[in-house]
């Protein structure tokens, strides 16, 4: 069973925080700290909130919605998104790949190279002359 948690960008200092997400409106949301004994609450931009996929990349980094991943030995770069009932990746060519069904032999050999908020250029199509 995967751990349910979220990541979002704080409104006050633009740093990423992790924990439980409570959204009050499209303009206001909060993330509560990872552990019950922490009394931390941060206001976050709801547009930056992404859920943990339950997966880690080849380096052990947790993968969240909105992350940009590189797969198939660098041949595919795409954004992680949720399409019920599973997480998938989509690139600028609108291709969609289910993480589990499309990776060769179930090999999840991919890496997180950024996210769509901090590194939007990673999702721009490259000119191939």
- Domain boundaries of the chain, sorted by first residue: 6-48, 53-123
Both structure tokens of 76: 């595919």
Pick the CATH number of 53-123 from 3.10.20.600, 3.30.360.10, 2.30.30.290, 3.40.50.970: 2.30.30.290
**pLDDT at residue 38, as a whole number:** 63
pLDDT of residue 125: 73
| Cβ contact 22:44 at 8 Å | no
Alpha carbon distance 31, 9 (integer Å): 9
Mean pLDDT by 10 residues, the chain (129 residues): 86 93 80 70 92 88 92 80 81 64 59 93 72
Q: What is the pLDDT of residue 46?
A: 92
For the record, the structure tokens of 115 come out as 């996210």
Question: Contact 25/49 with Cβ under 8 angstroms?
Answer: no
Q: Which two tokens stand for residue 109?
A: 């050999």
Q: What H or E segment, with its residue span, contains residue 29? A: strand 29-32
**CB-CB contact of 99 with 86 (8 Å):** yes
Tell me how far apart the alpha carbons of residues 30 and 41 are, in angstroms, rounded to a whole number.
Answer: 7
How confident is the model at residue 62, as a pLDDT? Answer: 92
Can you give the pTM of this predicted structure?
A: 0.82
Question: What is the pLDDT at residue 28?
Answer: 83
């Amino acid at each position: 069973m995967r751990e349910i948690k979220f990541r979002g960008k704080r409104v006050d200092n633009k740093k990423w925080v992790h924990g439980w997400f409570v959204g009050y409106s499209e303009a206001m949301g909060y993330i509560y700290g990872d552990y019950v004994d922490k009394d931390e609450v941060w206001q976050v931009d709801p547009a930056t909130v992404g859920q943990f996929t339950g997966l880690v990349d080849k380096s052990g980094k947790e993968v969240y919605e909105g992350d940009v991943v590189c797969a198939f030995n660098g041949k595919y770069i795409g954004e992680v998104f949720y399409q019920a009932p599973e997480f998938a990746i989509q690139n600028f060519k609108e291709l969609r790949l289910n993480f589990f069904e499309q990776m060769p032999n179930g090999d999840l050999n991919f890496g997180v190279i950024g996210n769509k908020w901090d590194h939007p250029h990673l999702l721009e199509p490259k000119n191939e002359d």
